[in-house]
């Protein structure tokens, strides 16, 4: 008998066919993303669930007495409450690696756009503010040969460092919980302390996961250490940054500009003060949003779910479950 699963997000047709070949499948058919409360009502007797971003709390776990596998269709998994998952012996997987290069592309797009004021000056052209004879009003910052500081040297950080070093001949330094001599040798990057990175980088890129230790890690003190000409880019998680402090740093020109793909609350409130500033490039959390990458992520999430239910070991367990 096929195991019963609940698919709590839209998936491509090919992925649905794969799931239906191995499982009895029920789907969320709402037009909006499923909420935690709706998931509690829907999950029923499912042995597995495939979702993306929806909080999985003790209440969700309690509502699913037969649940054995949670497949999170994302590389991040801060939506999963690990204590009840571990207590129940449930397997939880994610989709690392397949989006590394795509997210690195997006991070570099934000570096370029914020440094060269792409969206700000795009608006100037559209609004008729571009006049003959303008010079300094149009100036931006160089990216080539500048210093890039990466906070969090995981696989995506490495992909960004490779673009910076070999594409733009940037000086790259990084801060990470663990030093990585192999990456230093391979890419020619330098390990420095966090304060030194903040004080000496022209571009500061945040690539950390959201954990209790990293929540609120970048605030007024950290922005105060940065150069007045520094550009801050966040493609990691919004709650790592104190957004009020970021607003103050940008509005007061303590730092030069910012490029953001993530926010403390998503979608961000259109009335958020950050959206009033001309020196902020904002995107709607699209780091992995290309058709090819999202297809690959959905395929991996489906494979993780099916293989875990079949008792196979070739699944991408979230790190905290690997030694449980």
Instruction: Supply the residues annotated as catalytic.
Output: 237, 266, 285
Q: What DSSP state is assigned to residue 145?
A: T
Q: Which of 49, 137, 156, 139 is nearest to 93 (CA)?
A: 49
CB atoms within 10 A of CB 40: 16
Contact assessment for residue 205 and residue 258, using Cβ atoms and an 8 Å cutoff: no
Chain mean position to CA 249: 23
CA dihedral 87, 88, 90, 94 (to 10 degrees): -40
Q: Which of 82, 103, 68 is nearest to 315 (CA)?
A: 68
Helix (H, G, I), strand (E, B) or coil at 218: strand
Contact assessment for residue 65 and residue 45, using Cβ atoms and an 8 Å cutoff: yes
**What angle, 0 to 180 degrees and rounded to 10, lies between the N-to-C axes of helices 155-167 and 100-115?**
50
Task: Quote the radius of gyration of the chain (alpha carbons, Å).
Answer: 22
For residue 70, list its beta bridge partners.
49, 92
The Cα angle at residue 118 between residues 113 and 119, in degrees rounded to 5 = 105
Q: Which of 271, 269, 248, 250 is nearest to 259 (CA)?
A: 250
Q: Which residues are within 8 A (CB) of 251 and not within 5 positions of it... i.e. 6 or more apart? A: 273, 277
The strand order across the sheet containing 147-151 reads 190-191, 171-175, 147-151, 203-206, 231-234, 257-260, 280-282
* Helix, strand, coil content of the chain in percent (nearest 5): 40, 15, 45
């Amino acid at each position: 008998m096929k195991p019963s699963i609940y698919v709590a997000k839209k998936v491509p047709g090919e992925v649905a066919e794969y799931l239906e070949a191995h499982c009895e499948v029920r789907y969320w058919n709402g037009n909006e993303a499923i909420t935690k409360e709706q998931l509690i009502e829907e999950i029923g007797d499912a042995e597995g669930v495939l979702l993306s971003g929806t909080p999985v709390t003790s209440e969700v776990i309690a509502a699913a007495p037969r649940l054995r596998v949670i497949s999170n269709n994302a590389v991040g998994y801060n939506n999963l409450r690990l204590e009840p998952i571990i207590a129940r012996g449930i397997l939880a997987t994610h989709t690392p690696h397949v989006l590394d290069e795509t997210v690195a592309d997006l991070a570099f797009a934000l570096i370029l756009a914020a440094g060269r004021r792409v969206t700000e000056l795009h608006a100037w052209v559209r609004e008729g503010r571009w006049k003959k004879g303008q010079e300094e009003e149009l100036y931006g910052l160089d990216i080539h040969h500048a210093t890039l500081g990466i906070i969090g040297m995981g696989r995506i950080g490495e992909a960004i460092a490779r673009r910076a070093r070999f594409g733009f001949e940037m000086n790259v330094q990084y801060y990470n919980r663990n030093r990585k001599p192999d990456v230093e040798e391979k890419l020619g990057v330098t390990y420095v302390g966090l304060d030194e990175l903040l004080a000496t980088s022209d571009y500061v890129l945040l690539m950390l996961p959201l954990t209790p230790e990293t929540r609120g890690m970048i605030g007024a003190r950290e922005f105060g250490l940065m150069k007045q000409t520094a550009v801050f880019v966040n493609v990691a998680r919004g709650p790592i940054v104190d957004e009020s402090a970021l607003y103050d740093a940008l509005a007061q020109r303590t730092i030069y500009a910012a490029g953001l793909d993530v926010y403390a609350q998503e979608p961000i409130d259109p009335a958020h003060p950050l959206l009033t500033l001309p020196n902020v490039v904002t995107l709607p959390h699209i780091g992995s949003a290309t058709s090819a990458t999202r297809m690959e992520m959905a395929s991996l999430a489906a494979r993780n779910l099916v293989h875990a239910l079949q008792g196979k070991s070739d699944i991408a367990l979230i790190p905290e479950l690997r030694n449980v």
